[in-house]
Structure 1
Amino acid sequence: MRLIASLAVVTGLVAAPLGAHAASLHTDWEKYKVTRAFNHLSADGQRAMADILNAKQILDGGQTDAAIPALYDATKRLTAAGKANNKFMAAENSLQPAPQHPAPNGHVAGTTPVAWVPVGGEVIGSETLAPEKKAAISTANTQLKAGKTQQAAQTLQVVAEDADFIMAITPLDQTLGAVNRATVFTEARHPKEASAALQQIIDNLVFVSEDFAETAIPDQGQSAPARK
């Protein structure tokens, strides 16, 4: 990424006016920010959330046996996510929820620091975007839900600064506990109770801004493009 950006700087200075060069640098930087934001996500956390959503859909259909593998996988992946470097410690009342997803009315945020894992994200674009950019955002969000982070980053190359990325984080221990309860209910053939336990995980997701992610959530150390 650094090499590509450096080449852009050199060729831009030779072949383009300063204004066009600055615009190109800005676009390169915005594209880098998209990729960097996605690097904050936990791969295991993303897969665990996909397992949780899959299990809930099966349970909502009244099935239990078919949901058990997804619940087991969710537990294993959440445990792995807890050992990786993408998690971070924070009290819920210190988080800065994104305005697009405020906390539910009456919700009281915890004051004790706990481990949080980034398990998903959402790309938000304005209503005035061109149709092709709206389509790209829709596709990218579908890819993010499926855990296809790199593909989503590529899809968003055409959007750049015209969209905002907000990240879904989940409290690790609380989420593991809910999955364990759901597993017990599922094994006991109580799909409604199991689904309700998984719904608690969805309800307890906190969405934070890209700026918050930059300061609080570790990433994989991708180098930034040169900025002038």
Structure 2
Amino acid sequence: MRFVPSLALATGLALTPAFAHADSIRTHWEQYKAGRAFRHLSMDGQKALGDIFKAHDLLAAGNTDAAIPALYDASKRLEAADKAGVKFNAAESALHTAPQHAPTAGHTPSATPADWVPVGGEFIVSDTLAPEKKASVASANAQLKAGETEQAAQTMQVVGEDATFIVALAPLAATQGAVNRATVFTEGRQAKDALAALDDALNGLVFVTEDFAATALPAPKASAKTPK
């Protein structure tokens, strides 16, 4: 595979030792891999998932009032994700579930078609990966959970080809319904019920392989204006 034009390649070889050039090529490849992994994700969907996690943490800590703005933002961002069109319609039973995140025991995937939005992802690595790279992967996954995609890509540059990316899909209508219930419960100071509703949203996520996402998802459109 050629990563740079032939002229630039020849110049690089002439001016730098072969091993240095190889390191440079590897660096560019790792950067490409880290960035390419996110091209299927919905920006609004990622932010909505981050809002859901934030509201969940606040409710669990007893900060009920502080969770309300995060829930409002999640609802607006899910609506924006719907309008942006980064979604596809399929039955859960037709999704190619990533083996690293198989459905929970006893769960029967629905055969009813639904709209799915790619709201996040996770890097998976082997147990034999070097400890420092495992630490980078853990950091990148935490950044993805917070919706910090660019930071996650930078963190993953040191891992590169040693990681597999899987995409988290959210059933749009069911997730919106869960967030709406959580908002009503939170406004009514019923934190326990609000947490249960957000658990429903998070438990409804389905992880699929990046290859499946590449074939199922349309090209992203311009994102609607949503809260920062």
- The corresponding residue for 1:169 is 169
Q: Which whole-Å deviations, capped at 9, do the CAs of 1:57-85 have from their partners, x for residues lacking one?
A: 22223342221111111100100011113
* Unmatched 5+ stretches in structure 2: 222-228
Query: TM-score with structure 1 length normalisation?
Result: 0.84
Question: Could you tell me whether the CA contact under 8 Å between 2:136 and 2:158 is conserved in 1?
Answer: yes
Shift of the 184–202 alpha-carbon distance from structure 1 to 2, 3 Å rule, reads: same
Question: Could you tell me whether the CA contact under 8 Å between 1:37 and 1:214 is conserved in 2?
Answer: no
In the TM superposition, residue 152 of structure 1 has moved relative to its aligned partner by: 1.3
Q: Which whole-Å deviations, capped at 9, do the CAs of 1:9-47 have from their partners, x for residues lacking one?
A: 54445628x9x9999878755642431220211111111
* Unmatched 5+ stretches in structure 1: 222-228
Question: Could you tell me whether the CA contact under 8 Å between 1:13 and 1:21 is conserved in 2?
Answer: no
The equivalences for 1:7-156 within 5 A come to 7=5, 9-12=6-9, 15=13, 28=28, 31-156=31-156
Counterpart of 2:4 (choices 6, 9, 12) is 6
SS at match of 1:115: strand
Q: Which whole-Å deviations, capped at 9, do the CAs of 1:120-144 have from their partners, x for residues lacking one?
A: 1111111212233222212211221
SS at match of 1:6: coil
SS at match of 2:105: coil
- Identical-pair percentage: 59
Q: Which whole-Å deviations, capped at 9, do the CAs of 1:104-162 have from their partners, x for residues lacking one?
A: 11111111221111111111111212233222212211221121112211221222211
- The corresponding residue for 1:212 is 212
- Distance in 2 between residues matched to 1:187 and 1:202, nearest whole Å: 20
- Distance in 1 between residues matched to 2:177 and 2:95, nearest whole Å: 22
The number of equivalent residue pairs is: 217
Query: TM-score with structure 2 length normalisation?
Result: 0.84
SS at match of 1:100: helix
Question: Could you tell me whether the CA contact under 8 Å between 1:41 and 1:219 is conserved in 2?
Answer: no
RMSD (CA atoms): 2.7
SS at match of 1:41: coil
- The corresponding residue for 1:179 is 179
Shift of the 44–118 alpha-carbon distance from structure 1 to 2, 3 Å rule, reads: same
- Distance in 1 between residues matched to 2:9 and 2:158, nearest whole Å: 20
SS at match of 1:39: coil
SS at match of 2:62: coil
